[in-house]
Amino acid sequence: MVRTPLTEAERRRGRALGLALQRARGRRSAAEVALAAGISLDTLRKIERGAIATPAFFTVVALARALRLDLDTLAQVEDAAA
């Protein structure tokens, strides 16, 4: 399967999402947050650095729950980056 390359706007939104998640994580370890969200540590690290610029919706929901973030807040972060 060939993936369509990401646009620059998608890459910007991915980096903004990753930064917002990193800030929300605060002093909690990435491993602790990944475990609470039910995702792998590697996946969380990739999302935080923007390597996964368009994570699956349910992954974002799981992270929002683990970090006690409102999805509307995350959507605004992504919108501002576009």
Q: Any idea of the CA torsion for 31, 37, 43, 45, to the nearest 10 degrees?
A: -50
Beta-carbon contacts of 14 under 8 Å, excluding residues fewer than 6 positions away, are: 6, 47, 50, 52, 53, 54
DSSP 25: H
Residue 3 lies in a domain: no
Give the CATH number, domain containing residue 59: 1.10.260.40
Query: What pTM, to 2 d.p., does this model score?
Result: 0.88
Q: How many CB atoms lie within 10 A of CB 73?
A: 11
For 33-72, the pLDDT digits (tens) are 999 999 999 999 999 999 999 999 999 999 999 999 999 9
Residue 40 lies in a domain: yes
Residue 2 lies in a domain: no
Residue 55 lies in a domain: yes
Q: How many domains does the chain have?
A: 1
Residue 19 lies in a domain: yes
Domain range enclosing 27 = 8-81
